[in-house]
């Protein structure tokens, strides 16, 4: 969703975070990501029915995580969305 110009150095696949959250959490658990970055962990937590809190202190990350997480909350269909229904 970021396009080529806004691509950052360390993108992680949602499926990797899905595996970790599947092992470490249950539905409705609260997931805290205190280094939100592009928001992959929060996006996957949301799609998997976990509650989440994201903290980000570096302003240049906000153009990545804010629009992404707004879209996720509105029902974005990329990443693991189809797999988790």
By CB under 6 A, the residues from 21 to 80 that bind ligand SAM are: 33-41, 55-58, 61
Q: Can you read off the two tokens belonging to residue 67?
A: 């629009």
| 18 near ligand SAM, rule: CB under 6 A | no
Q: How far apart are CA 84 and CA 8, in angstroms?
A: 26
Q: Which is nearer to ligand SAM, 7 or 57 (CB)?
A: 57
Q: Which is nearer to ligand SAM, 12 or 26 (CB)?
A: 12
Q: How far apart are CA 33 and CA 1, in angstroms?
A: 21
The residue whose Cβ lies closest to ligand SAM is 37
Of 40, 53, 49, 42, nearest in space to 79 by CA: 40
* Contact positions vs ligand SAM (CB under 6 A): 10, 12, 33-41, 55-58, 61
């Amino acid at each position: 969703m970021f396009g080529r110009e806004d691509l950052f150095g360390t993108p992680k696949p949602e499926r990797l975070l899905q595996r970790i959250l599947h092992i470490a959490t249950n539905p409705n658990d609260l997931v805290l990501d205190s280094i939100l970055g592009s928001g992959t962990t929060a996006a996957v937590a949301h799609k998997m029915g976990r509650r989440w809190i994201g903290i980000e202190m570096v302003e240049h990350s906000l153009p990545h995580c804010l629009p992404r997480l707004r879209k996720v909350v509105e029902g974005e269909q990329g990443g693991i969305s189809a797999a988790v229904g």
